[in-house]
């Protein structure tokens, strides 16, 4: 496809992955039902109460790998071999977890291996933080270490927000679409092809995942989405300057770091907040609970669809703020993003507290009140067929019998 215009290649990347994913999902659902491969609900973290197949990540994986392998020019972009190998490691490991469950340690090892291959062998790594927290250029091994930790964190962040119908998929479409546009305008054709292939694979899956969901993506889908987006964000931060006509939307190298953080902000912010909250309570950061942003919105009575829409719009708002503050000092810009995010979270927290208080008040007010018309009455030496003898006391609805004094 090297002779085709780049915009045609981008369209083929998206449409090819979309078609593969939409074609695969009904067949995956059929096989999962025949072989009884379901996601069983629990009472800790999972919201759904129905038994639903959780192998949608298989369609996302094949849509991404097959389409990107066709549209990417491997002779120019040698890093694709390592990226594909890393994604395959995650797929092989996590598909087993979706089928029969794996210990968390084994999944973490697979994530570490995928991130290390990408950072060390493909040389896709963060080389500078542009003054964030006072850190500028990173030497080689600190750069490798920071990249591996960052990739693993973002990978798990998408896994943790995959709690309601359509959320991880919708945020994934938004992130991959924006990163694909940014990479395309920067002239990184191969990176844009990966982004649009991922976007198409997720979009095809979303057709069957919007509430009420017919299938879930499982850990296979969420981890592959998170890992691929982490790689794309690093490619974006290191591609600045390759195309000087970048619509003047991104003004400086540090702007790419700010915008990348804004694109991934909802899963990153939610995961960081939940981890800190759990550690402050003395719990493991990976313990199951219902303290994510989508749980707060569900507690307010929003449906799955409206919850997804609210978080989608919130992420777009954060991206708009990032474009506005990108010319400021990187620490001020990041602080601005955090200020907006914590402001929205504070509103959500207060609304949830008031809503819970109102519900509790309504439940209390609905309890039957004591009837003042029923007064305390006494009767002495009542004999009912010889069964009860002695003083009787009626207080409200309570009847007591006192033993007679002999």
Interval 182-212: pLDDT, tens: 999 888 999 999 999 999 999 999 999 987 8
Q: Which of 55-64, 311-320, 360-369, 388-397 has the lowest average pLDDT?
A: 388-397
Q: Which of 82-91, 112-121, 397-406 has the lowest average pLDDT?
A: 397-406
Tell me the average pLDDT of the chain: 86
251-289: b or e for each residue (b if 16 or more CB lie within 10 Å)? eeebbbbbbbbbbbbbbbbbbebbbeebeeeeeeeeeee
| Whether pLDDT at 26 is above 50 | yes
What integer pLDDT is reported at residue 378 of this predicted model?
46
The predicted model gives 265-270 an average pLDDT of 94
Q: Which of 84-88, 220-224, 238-242 has the lowest average pLDDT?
A: 238-242
Per-residue pLDDT band at 253 (split at 50, 70, 90): confident
The answer to whether the beta carbons of residues 225 and 172 sit under 8 Å apart is yes
Select from 176, 205, 174, 184 the least CA-distant residue to 59: 205
What integer pLDDT is reported at residue 2 of this predicted model?
60
Name the token pair of 84: 């594909």
Q: Phi then psi for 392, rounded to 5 degrees?
A: -110, 140
What integer pLDDT is reported at residue 384 of this predicted model?
45
Q: How far apart are CA 347 and CA 32, in angstroms?
A: 41
pLDDT digit string, tens, across residues 141-159:
999 999 999 999 999 999 9
SS3 per-residue string spanning the chain: CCCCCHHHHHHHHHHHHHHHHHHHHHHHHHHHHHHCCCECCCCCCCCCCCCECCCHHHHHHHHHHHHHHHHCCCCCCCCHHHHHHHHHHHHHHHHHHHHHCCCHHHHHHHHHHHHHHHHHHCCCCCCEEEEECCEEECCHHHHHHHHHHHHHHHHHHHHHHCCCCCHHHHHHHHHHHHHHHHHHHHCCHHHHHHHHHHHHHHHHHHCCCCCCCCCCCHHHHHHHHHHHHHHHHHHHHCCCCCCCCCCCCCCCHHHHHHHHHHHCHHHHHHHHHHHHHHHHCCCCCCCCCCCCHHHHHHHCCCCHHHHHHHHHHHHHHHHHHHHHHCCCCHHHHHHHHHHHHHHHHHHHHHHHHHHHHHHHHHHHHCCCCCCCCCCCEEECCCCCCCCCCCCEEEECCEEEECCCCC
Q: How far apart are CA 192 and CA 182, in angstroms?
A: 8
Burial class, 100, CB count within 10 angstroms (exposed 0-12 / middle 13-18 / buried 19+): exposed
What integer pLDDT is reported at residue 393 of this predicted model?
53
What integer pLDDT is reported at residue 195 of this predicted model?
97
The predicted model gives 259-288 an average pLDDT of 89
| Residue 356: how many other CB atoms lie within 10 Å | 12
- Percent of the chain with pLDDT strictly greater than 70: 84
The answer to whether the beta carbons of residues 25 and 204 sit under 8 Å apart is yes
pLDDT digit string, tens, across residues 284-305:
887 777 889 999 999 898 999 9
pLDDT digit string, tens, across residues 330-384:
999 999 999 999 999 999 989 988 888 887 777 777 766 655 555 444 444 445 4
Name the token pair of 130: 């542009």
Name the token pair of 2: 């090297």
Select from 289, 267, 273 the least CA-distant residue to 349: 273
């Amino acid at each position: 496809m090297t002779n085709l215009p780049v915009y045609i290649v981008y369209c083929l990347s998206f449409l090819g992955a979309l078609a593969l994913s939409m074609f695969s999902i009904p067949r995956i659902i059929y096989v999962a039902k025949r072989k009884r491969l379901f996601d069983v609900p629990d009472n800790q973290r999972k919201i759904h109460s129905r038994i639903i197949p959780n192998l949608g990540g298989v369609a996302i994986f094949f849509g991404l790998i097959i389409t990107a392998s066709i549209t990417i020019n491997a002779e120019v972009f040698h890093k694709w071999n390592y990226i594909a190998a890393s994604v395959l490691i995650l797929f092989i490991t996590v598909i087993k977890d979706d089928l029969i469950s794996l210990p968390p340690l084994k999944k973490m090892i697979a994530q570490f291996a995928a991130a290390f291959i990408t950072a060390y062998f493909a040389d896709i790594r963060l080389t500078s933080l542009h003054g964030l927290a006072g850190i500028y250029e990173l030497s080689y091994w600190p750069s490798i270490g920071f990249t591996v930790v960052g990739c693993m964190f973002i990978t798990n962040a998408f896994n943790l927000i995959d709690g309601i119908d359509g959320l991880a998929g919708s945020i994934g479409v938004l992130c991959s679409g924006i990163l694909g546009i940014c990479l395309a305008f920067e002239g990184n054709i191969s990176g844009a092809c990966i982004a649009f292939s991922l976007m198409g694979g997720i979009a095809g899956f979303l057709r069957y995942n919007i509430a009420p969901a017919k299938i879930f993506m499982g850990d296979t889908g969420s981890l592959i989405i998170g890992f691929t987006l982490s790689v794309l964000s690093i490619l974006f931060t290191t591609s600045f300057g390759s195309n000087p006509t970048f619509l003047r939307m991104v003004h400086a190298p540090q702007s790419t770091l700010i915008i990348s953080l804004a694109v991934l902000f909802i899963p990153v912010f939610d995961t960081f907040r939940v981890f800190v909250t759990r550690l402050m309570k003395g719990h493991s950061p990976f313990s199951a609970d219902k303290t994510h942003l989508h749980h707060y919105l569900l507690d307010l009575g929003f449906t799955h669809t409206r919850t997804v829409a609210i978080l989608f719009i919130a992420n777009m708002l954060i991206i708009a703020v990032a474009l506005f503050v990108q010319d400021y000092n990187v620490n001020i810009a990041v602080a601005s993003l955090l200020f907006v995010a914590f402001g929205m979270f504070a509103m959500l927290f207060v609304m949830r507290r008031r809503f819970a208080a109102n519900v509790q008040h309504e439940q209390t007010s609905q309890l039957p009140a004591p009837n003042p018309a029923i007064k305390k009455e006494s009767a002495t030496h009542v004999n009912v067929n010889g069964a009860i003898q002695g003083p009787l006391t009626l207080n409200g609805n309570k009847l007591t019998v006192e033993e007679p004094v002999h």
